[in-house]
Amino acid sequence: MGRPGCATASLSGSTLISRNPACLNGRAMLMIRVLSVEAGRDLTVYSRWLWRSGVAHRIAEESGQQVLWVADQRAVEFARRALEAFENGELEGLEEPPETSLAIESQGLFELLIKHPLTLALIALMSALALLSRFGEDPAWVHWFSFSDFEVVAGYPYFVPLQQSLEAGQWWRLLTPILLHFSALHLVFNMLWLLILGGRIEQARGGWLLLFLVVVVGLVSNVAQYLFSMDHPLFGGFSGVVYGLLGFCWFYSHFCPQAGLAQPRAVIGFMVGWLLLCFTGFVEMVGFGAIANAAHTAGLVSGCGLGAVLGYLHRQRINEESR
């Protein structure tokens, strides 16, 4: 990997506009080609800076080059100046022009819907279920989504053996606990991280990959939590998947930095620290409720594994194309 200033970037001399579906999320969308650099360059810091500045972009591999595409014409010149500053080691001193921040534009919500449909659909689905189930207090809703079916008798849930439910064709139970949330804080925390991590994956690598990760990590984390709570298998929440998405971004960006999935070290440190804190019992003691530590851990491990495998394969493909 080259250090800033150690390699020469080849800036595109003209602005190109493309509707190539590969430009963003696998969907046809108007994108602007800004510049290209050699495939071996590590653009993680540069890409992270663009995201922090509100510049929606995609770095794609084309003919042995990394090509930067942006979604806003106003961001073209800023992206070029940012690359020059990055190469000179002066990126942190570059002023962020407020006009490039899509977050404050009136069109921001529409663009969010276009670029993150699966992420927002998941948020809407889980929010609706939380309200309908009164955050897990209504067993008439909860029992359809719980890992093991149950019936409340005299205020206590009596669980149906999982094998019996599966033999009845209720296979959805292996996944649907990720949709349940038992408090407003629980829901908001998970939805914010889904928007941050899931939105980044969906925008950089596409909705099908995000769906694949949600299903696989959800299954793994649910089964792990069930095995650790078989005496009372009533659990739920998207946290295990959130940790899986974090692990995926973490390890994928390690093998393929130019994929646009890198997360700040502070974010990774906070989430891993929170995971370890939950194991101490302190979080439950201060009133956050029971914590599904097995789901969190299994989610993180499975996400890291998937990120490592897919990131490695992506890097191998880049190397083969650049030969």
Q: Contact at 8 Å (CB) between 198 and 119?
A: yes
> What's the CA gap between 268 and 121, in Å, rounded?
25
- Tens digit of pLDDT for each residue in 92-123? 655 544 443 333 343 455 666 777 899 999 99
Cα distances (angstroms) measured from residue 131 to each of 128, 136, 153:
5, 9, 24
Report helix angle 108-115 to 117-132, nearest 10.
Answer: 100
DSSP codes, 25-87: TTS---EEEEEEEETT---HHHHHHHHHTT--EEEEEETTEEEEEES-GGGHHHHHHHHHHHH
Q: Contact at 8 Å (CB) between 143 and 52?
A: no
> What's the CA gap between 313 and 323, in Å, rounded?
16
Residues whose CB falls within 8 Å of the CB of residue 22, separated by 6 or more in sequence, listed in order = 60
Task: Label residue 238 by pLDDT band (50, 70, 90).
Answer: very high
* Class of the domain covering 116-321: mainly alpha
pLDDT of 71: 75
> What's the CA gap between 63 and 188, in Å, rounded?
42
The catalytic residues are 239, 296
Cα distances (angstroms) measured from residue 297 to each of 26, 149, 250, 268, 304:
31, 24, 15, 14, 11
Q: Strand 31-38 relative to strand 65-70: parallel, antiparallel, unpaired?
A: antiparallel
> What's the CA gap between 81 and 149, in Å, rounded?
58
pLDDT of 103: 38
The pLDDT of residue 233 is above 60: yes
Residue 32: beta bridge partners? 17, 70
> What's the CA gap between 157 and 123, in Å, rounded?
28
pLDDT of 286: 79
pLDDT of 42: 81
Burial category of 114 from C-beta neighbours within 10 Å (exposed 0-12, middle 13-18, buried 19 and up)? middle
Q: Contact at 8 Å (CB) between 49 and 91?
A: yes
Give domain limits for the chain.
16-104, 116-321
Instruction: Output the CATH code of domain 16-104.
Output: 3.30.1370
Listed ranges 48-52, 267-271, 313-317; the one with the highest mean pLDDT: 267-271
Looking only at Cα atoms, what is the longest distance across the chain? 75
pTM: 0.69
